Amino acid sequence: MKKYALKKILAGIVAAVLLLSLTGCGSGKESSKNDDSLRKVLDAGQLVLGLDVDFPPMGFLDETGEIVGFDIDVAQEVCNRLGVKLVKKGINWDTKEDTLNSGEIDCIWNGMSITPGRTEAMNLSDPYMKNELIVIILGESDARNLSDLTGKKVGVQSGSTALETLEKSKIYPSITVVTFDDNLTLLQKLADREVDAALVDSIVAYYFIFSDDNQFFVLPDSLGEEKYAVGFRKNDQALRDKVQQIISEMKADGTLSDISKKWFGSDITIVK
């Protein structure tokens, strides 16, 4: 092939590459350009947050029926800085992804654990808190470790990562699993002795233990560590990034630490 012909071909390739980069074809820039998720929230003047309203202290109903909690306070501050109203909407945790994708809510923000499935189904924020899956029992129980739960009823929330983890654990074949719609009902059933043990997030468990008159113990065996994140629709990158930016700013200026101290007594957030 002659040199001038080769140069002509190379020039054509370079031109094509430049054209693709400018139009965004094949690069993902076009989809980013069309992402109006943040603009929709700003134009609507509100951010609709979906949550399980029985997940203290992250998000729950107080004695007046108001939805309160750590996540609620953080989301409220994010909305204040966005200049929009925070709308809190209780959802069915089993169908949370469907509720998000239907457009009923803008995000899922309620101590939601990061899992491969959720990472695939949603656009998750950076993790903001660590959590452990622990088993709590009544003080009168004779169980001292997980193996002692053989033949006993273990309660867990349906549709939760706790249930997924329990199903994969070594003790699963030897126990009777009883599922409940929410953690508060689960823990109350434990207090009422309708189940022998409860597998729950450590953050929820310790909050319940300290606020209930019954004596509870935590088994020494943890079924694993998790991290919490906020979930957005898969293509809502602009909204996800703006919320993440504000959370990071809150960490830097101390606001996030103040909210954590209000609910937990210290800053237990892991935002960088």
Residues paired with residue 133 on neighbouring β-strands, in sequence order:
201
Question: Could you tell me which residue, 255 or 212, shows the higher pLDDT?
Answer: 255
pTM equals 0.74
Give the per-residue pLDDT at 156: 96
d(CA 76, CA 88): 10
Token pair in block for residue 21: 């980069």
Q: What is the CA radius of gyration of the chain?
A: 24
Token pair in block for residue 106: 């803008």
d(CA 126, CA 206): 24
Please give the share of the chain, as a percent, with pLDDT higher than 70: 88
Could you tell me the pLDDT band of residue 222, with boundaries at 50, 70 and 90? confident
Q: How many CB atoms lie within 10 A of CB 17?
A: 11
Express each pLDDT in 249-261 by its tens digit.
999 999 999 999 9
Give the per-residue pLDDT at 13: 36
16 pLDDT higher than 50 = no
Please give the share of the chain, as a percent, with pLDDT higher than 90: 70
d(CA 177, CA 200): 13
Domains of the chain: 32-130+227-264 (3.40.190.10), 132-226 (3.40.190.10)
Mean pLDDT of the chain: 87
* Cβ atoms of residues 130 and 268 within 8 Å: yes
Mean pLDDT of 243-251: 98
Question: Could you tell me which residue, 239 or 33, shows the higher pLDDT?
Answer: 239
Express each pLDDT in 22-35 by its tens digit.
333 333 333 456 89
DSSP class per residue in the chain = --HHHHHHHHHHHHHHHHHHHHHTTTTTHHHHHT--HHHHHHHHTEEEEEE-TEETTTEEE-TTS-EESHHHHHHHHHHHHHT-EEEEEE--GGGHHHHHHTTS-SEEEEEEEP-HHHHHHSEE----EEEEEEEEEETT----SGGGGTTSEEEEETTSHHHHHHHHSTTGGGSEEEEESSHHHHHHHHHTTSSSEEEEEHHHHHHHHHHSSS-EEE-S----EEEEEEEE-TT-HHHHHHHHHHHHHHHHHTHHHHHHHHHHSS--B---
Token pair in block for residue 208: 């319940």
Mean pLDDT of 104-120: 94
Express each pLDDT in 157-198 by its tens digit.
998 889 999 999 999 999 999 999 888 899 999 999 999 999
